């Protein structure tokens, strides 16, 4: 049985004359928690965009959850993305929606039944500790609470893969650590997590696999057993 969640096979992505990714090959197993690190412009966000199929590789192949992305037809992309959760640095919450409505939006998009939606949203809010904030609006929340709301929305459809692009970038240290603990709990339940982070202290404290990217190339992968490999 193939237990690989993400496979990049000699992937290159070129924008104009700039190589955002340069012949990248890597594998992430189902159930792993992986940090993607590197300076701005290193290619981290491009990698997430390729996995989400928001852009196409110039060369190479991507396989996610057993799906060859190059073979997906336009009408199949929506269904493919249903199994991926996404968390952003700037939360991307609807300001005129309550916490409950923001989380429920992800369920409405997939056409969930109202009864099922109610149960799923309440369960998601409970898991992130926001069940008492369901009726609040984003403007009434702290930064940590906004990211918890975004995390609940990302998880409400029970994705097999969670992508997080700098989820702690706008948070203080305490809230950043809280979000990481939540991500760890989600990972413990079987969800594969790939998160971009600039916070090296936080990355080191988590003791997870770290893939470092520079100028579009993988330069370090802590790999198996916590060992580091330089490329």
pLDDT higher than threshold 80 for residue 118: yes
Over residues 89-107, mean pLDDT: 95
> Has residue 126 been placed in a domain?
yes
Confidence of residue 224 (pLDDT cuts 50, 70, 90): very low
Are 136 and 164 part of one and the same domain? no
Please state the length of the chain. 231
The pLDDT assigned to 120 comes to: 96
Are 46 and 116 part of one and the same domain? no
Residues with Cβ within 8 Å of 63's Cβ and at least 6 positions away in sequence, in order, are: 4, 6, 7, 9, 69
Q: Are 49 and 210 in contact (CB under 8 A)?
A: no
Are 133 and 197 part of one and the same domain? no
Confidence of residue 228 (pLDDT cuts 50, 70, 90): low
End-to-end alpha-carbon separation of the chain, Å? 29
For residue 25 the two structure tokens come to 């090959």
Are 153 and 166 part of one and the same domain? no
Residues with Cβ within 8 Å of 138's Cβ and at least 6 positions away in sequence, in order, are: 91, 93, 94, 95, 97, 99, 102, 146, 149
Are 74 and 164 part of one and the same domain? yes
Q: Are 122 and 170 in contact (CB under 8 A)?
A: no
SS3 41: coil
Over residues 71-99, mean pLDDT: 93
CATH number, position 200? 3.40.50.300
In the chain, the number of structural domains is 2
Residues with Cβ within 8 Å of 160's Cβ and at least 6 positions away in sequence, in order, are: 5, 30, 65, 83, 84, 190, 191, 192
- Region class of 25: left (phi > 0), else alpha (psi between -120 and 50), else beta: beta
Are 79 and 8 part of one and the same domain? yes
Over residues 70-98, mean pLDDT: 93
Considering only CA atoms, give the Rg of the chain: 18
Are 1 and 73 part of one and the same domain? yes
Calpha distance 2→203 (Å, rounded): 28
pLDDT higher than threshold 80 for residue 62: yes
Over residues 198-218, mean pLDDT: 94
The pLDDT assigned to 89 comes to: 85
The pLDDT assigned to 1 comes to: 63
Q: Are 156 and 120 in contact (CB under 8 A)?
A: yes
* Mean pLDDT estimate for the chain: 93
pLDDT higher than threshold 90 for residue 41: no
For residue 98, the 8-state DSSP code is -
Confidence of residue 76 (pLDDT cuts 50, 70, 90): very high
The pLDDT assigned to 227 comes to: 45
Are 144 and 172 part of one and the same domain? no
Structural domain including 107 reads 99-158
């Amino acid at each position: 049985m193939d237990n690989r969640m993400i496979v990049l096979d000699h992937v290159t992505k070129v924008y104009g004359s700039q190589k955002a990714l340069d012949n990248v090959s890597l594998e992430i197993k189902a159930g792993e928690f992986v940090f993607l690190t590197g300076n701005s412009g290193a290619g981290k966000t491009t990698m997430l965009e390729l996995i989400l199929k928001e852009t196409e590789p110039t060369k190479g192949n991507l396989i996610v959850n057993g799906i060859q992305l190059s073979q997906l037809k336009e009408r199949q992309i929506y269904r493919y993305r249903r199994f991926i959760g996404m968390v952003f640095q700037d939360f991307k919450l609807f300001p005129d929606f309550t916490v409950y409505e923001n989380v429920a939006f992800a369920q409405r998009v997939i056409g969930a039944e109202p009864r099922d939606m109610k149960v799923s949203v309440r369960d998601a809010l409970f898991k992130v500790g926001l069940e008492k904030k369901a009726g609040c609006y984003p403007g009434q929340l702290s930064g940590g609470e906004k990211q918890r709301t975004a995390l609940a929305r990302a998880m409400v459809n029970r994705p097999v893969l969670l992508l997080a692009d700098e989820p702690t970038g706008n948070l203080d240290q305490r809230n950043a650590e809280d979000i990481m603990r939540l991500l760890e709990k989600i990972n413990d339940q079987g969800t594969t997590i790939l998160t971009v982070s600039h916070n090296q202290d936080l990355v080191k404290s988590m003791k997870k696999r770290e893939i470092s990217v520079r100028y579009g190339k993988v330069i370090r992968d802590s790999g198996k057993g916590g060992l580091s490999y330089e490329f």
